Structure 1
Amino acid sequence: MIEREMDAGVFVSRSEAEATSFANALELYAKEVTSQKRSSASELSRIQAMQRHPLALRSLASIRGSDMARYRDTRLEEGLAPATVRRELALISHIFTIARKEWRMESLSNPVELIRQPSVDDARARRILSADVWMLKGGTLIYEHLDELEIICRYSRSTELPKIMTFAVETAMRRSEITGLKSTNVNLDKRVALLPMTKNGSSRGVPLSSKAVEILNSLAERDDGRCFKSRPDSITKAFADAIGDARNAYAEGLSLHLKQKKIPQDKIDMCISADPFLMDLRFHDLRHEATSRLAEIFPLHELTKITGHQDTRMLMRYYHPKTEDLAKKLT
């Protein structure tokens, strides 16, 4: 059969695919492909984890769709989010594609193409909430009407985080874009910030509001040329710490207020646990909030230029106007 295929010119050798382990393929992919990517750190971490998996000992030629299906199910049972598993499968799929196209393994089939992908519904509609809150000040319960940004800023341990949060809501910039913003790319007279390289690989200009300009003017000049000193990871941690402290203070004030009204403790606990204020809020939700606010000012085609979305369908995942605000526009 092999001789006939060779005579017909259709024979494809499987020796290379049979001799190459998945672990070796991962190592070669990391060297030739991942190292060329701008955001290589997360993918390298994913590759290192896969190299410790039993599947890494198998040859590429021996891996079947059933193996990928078991891998998918196991990872989901381990508690990984469906979106994370999809990214892992996408990485494996690309490794097989590169092996077939560039590593002389034309006989390989892609086992990932034969299985179902985990369904993902990661669209978020989280907006900044406002609430009437009871807060302890000097041992006295004070009644205030605050939104989540105000109370998070109040309990932030980082002096720069409140400025970064406000700047994010004013500009709809991503966390990495804010931390990478350089003073040489900011024109305060024209109120424009240039982002030379963004997540989607292109540059874009961001119009700056008066408040955004005020924040940039308040920042000290840095030797490295960056506007903000914080790094992405430190922002995430500072934001989580501020939310935790703010939520504890909010829950304590609410609990004391309800106790004064003679409400039983079990009902107080249920009330606090069911309260969405300061719950499930992420820093990236500030971009959602900013996009929704900007959508009230700019038409959709202009909004894409500000936020950097190349697909209006993707933009709609971030645009979440309040229904009551839409109702006000009706006669």
Structure 2
Amino acid sequence: MASYSIQKRDKADGTSKYRCLIRVKKKGKILYTEQRTFTKKLTAETWGKERIVEIEKNGFEDQVSTIPTLGKIIDQVLNDPNIDSAIGRSKRFCLKLLRDCEIAKHLINQIKPQHIIEHCQQRKTSGTGPSTIAIDISVIRWLLKIAKSNFGHDVSQSAIIDAYEALYAQNLIAKSARRSRRPTTIELEKLKVGLQQRSDQRTAHIPYVDLLEFSILSCMRIGEVCRIRWDDVDDEQKAVVVRDRKDPRKKAGNHMLVPLLGGAWELIQKQPRNDDRIFPFNERSVSAGFQRVRTELGIEDLRYHDLRREGASRLFEKGYTFDEVAQVTGHRNINTLWQVYTELFPKRLHDKDV
């Protein structure tokens, strides 16, 4: 039996949208779905009634065999070179994790808010934190967008949108807590000793100490450090081109000329020129070595990425302005740097009040 329903959605600007959802069911099983969104309720109802008449007169295409599961969409995404090449390591890891979850078994047009909530509850039971679960939901929503735009499936993100309020209210998802962790002077000295010992013990020599110091002085992510090339070095300006720098809006082609300050220039000059890259090492190997030494030393809650914050903090302490620091760190949004500054240096406000 074919039927339609109208759902009203209020937008932030005060206007409303009306979604007309057509469904054909047989013995409780959904055989066909179709939907359109209108600005007026009457128009949505008129379209719904007309489509019902057309379907009852001319029939419909059986969608059961053509609608994929969420897991199938994940497979298609990972096997599509155009999409896969634009996926970062974190998103790829999340996609593979989702592939093994129960929610991957659902047809994409039959995912309901309760399925989203059940997935989050299962993840929470396994010990996963709300900010990490929030990444799952973001990736699922992205998958539904890709299913529609790239693979032509008529699917909506409404299940996720409808689940958000409950997810936040039940603390199943949350925004990531902003970090302000900086390594102490003693921790850095211990790390240098431990990393140097690790370098000396390894056949494949990785200059961990140079990498540590360069990461702080340049404020670069470790992936950026391991990508820079000798032909990207600008000797005249004592700078280097950082290619495809991370940006929420654009990554590919986001190249930046970054000045090398406070000894960073000298560090790259001492590196051997036996490769196209200045630091020709796998970023995962560098991070893994750092984490192993950090753990052995008993240093808690310190991540390699915190070195980037340490570098930005040092520049602020030296008196560099926000736009000058942003030129080094690559931040497009000065508000992000402002948050770092106000969290790490609140005492300066008190000093001005004396």
Q: What TM-score results when the alignment is normalised by the length of structure 1?
A: 0.75
The C-alpha deviation readout for 1:294-324, integer Å capped at 9, x for no partner, is 1233211222222111112222344343445
| Residue 204 in structure 1 maps to residue 204 in structure 2 | no
Q: Structure 1 residue 284: deviation in Å?
A: 0.9
Q: Structure 1 residue 24: deviation in Å?
A: 1.6
For residues 21 and 90 of structure 1, do their structure 2 counterparts lie closer, same or farther at Cα, with a shift above 3 Å needed? Answer: same
Paired residues for 1:95-110 under 5 Å: 95-106=143-154, 108-110=156-158
Question: SS of the counterpart of 1:150?
Answer: helix
Q: In the alignment, what sits opposite 2:113?
A: 65
Q: In the alignment, what sits opposite 2:192?
A: 153
Counterpart of 2:258 in structure 1: which amino acid? Answer: V
Q: In the alignment, what sits opposite 1:302?
A: 324
Q: In the alignment, what sits opposite 1:280?
A: 301
CA contact (8 A) 2:141 2:157 kept: no
CA contact (8 A) 1:193 1:208 kept: yes
CA contact (8 A) 1:22 1:56 kept: yes
Q: Structure 1 residue 96: deviation in Å?
A: 1.6
Q: Structure 1 residue 191: deviation in Å?
A: 1.1
Paired residues for 1:163-174 under 5 Å: 163-174=210-221
The C-alpha deviation readout for 1:157-207, integer Å capped at 9, x for no partner, is 126111111111111111111111111111234211111211111121211
For residues 183 and 211 of structure 1, do their structure 2 counterparts lie closer, same or farther at Cα, with a shift above 3 Å needed? Answer: same
Identity of aligned residues (%): 19
The C-alpha deviation readout for 1:31-54, integer Å capped at 9, x for no partner, is 346413152x44333323322223
| Residue 37 in structure 1 maps to residue 86 in structure 2 | yes
Aligned partners of 1:317, 1:8: CA distance in 2, in Å? 57
Paired residues for 1:3-14 under 5 Å: 4-5=50-51
Count of matched residue positions in the alignment of Structure 1 and Structure 2 = 282
CA contact (8 A) 2:144 2:155 kept: no
Aligned partners of 2:289, 2:99: CA distance in 1, in Å? 33
Aligned partners of 1:298, 1:90: CA distance in 2, in Å? 36
Counterpart of 1:5 in structure 2: which amino acid? Answer: R
CA contact (8 A) 2:227 2:280 kept: no
For residues 105 and 12 of structure 1, do their structure 2 counterparts lie closer, same or farther at Cα, with a shift above 3 Å needed? Answer: farther
Question: SS of the counterpart of 1:293?
Answer: helix
| Residue 187 in structure 1 maps to residue 239 in structure 2 | no
For residues 177 and 62 of structure 1, do their structure 2 counterparts lie closer, same or farther at Cα, with a shift above 3 Å needed? Answer: same
Question: SS of the counterpart of 1:120?
Answer: coil
Q: What TM-score results when the alignment is normalised by the length of structure 2?
A: 0.71
Matching residue within 211, 221, 231 for 2:273: 221
CA contact (8 A) 1:18 1:60 kept: no
For residues 101 and 228 of structure 1, do their structure 2 counterparts lie closer, same or farther at Cα, with a shift above 3 Å needed? Answer: closer
Aligned partners of 1:13, 1:308: CA distance in 2, in Å? 51
For residues 288 and 107 of structure 1, do their structure 2 counterparts lie closer, same or farther at Cα, with a shift above 3 Å needed? Answer: closer
CA contact (8 A) 2:148 2:154 kept: yes
Structure showing greater relative contact order (alpha-carbon pairs closer than 8 Å, 6 or more residues apart): 1
Q: In the alignment, what sits opposite 1:262?
A: none
| Residue 25 in structure 1 maps to residue 73 in structure 2 | yes
Q: In the alignment, what sits opposite 1:258?
A: none
CA-based RMSD of the aligned residues comes to 2.8
Question: SS of the counterpart of 1:206?
Answer: strand
Aligned partners of 1:121, 1:46: CA distance in 2, in Å? 16
Aligned partners of 2:65, 2:322: CA distance in 1, in Å? 49
Aligned partners of 1:330, 1:236: CA distance in 2, in Å? 42
Aligned partners of 1:102, 1:215: CA distance in 2, in Å? 45
For residues 13 and 67 of structure 1, do their structure 2 counterparts lie closer, same or farther at Cα, with a shift above 3 Å needed? Answer: farther
Matching residue within 333, 337, 340 for 1:311: 333
Counterpart of 1:243 in structure 2: which amino acid? Answer: R
* Structure 1 portions without partners, runs of 5+: 131-146, 248-277
| Residue 238 in structure 1 maps to residue 325 in structure 2 | no
Counterpart of 1:182 in structure 2: which amino acid? Answer: R
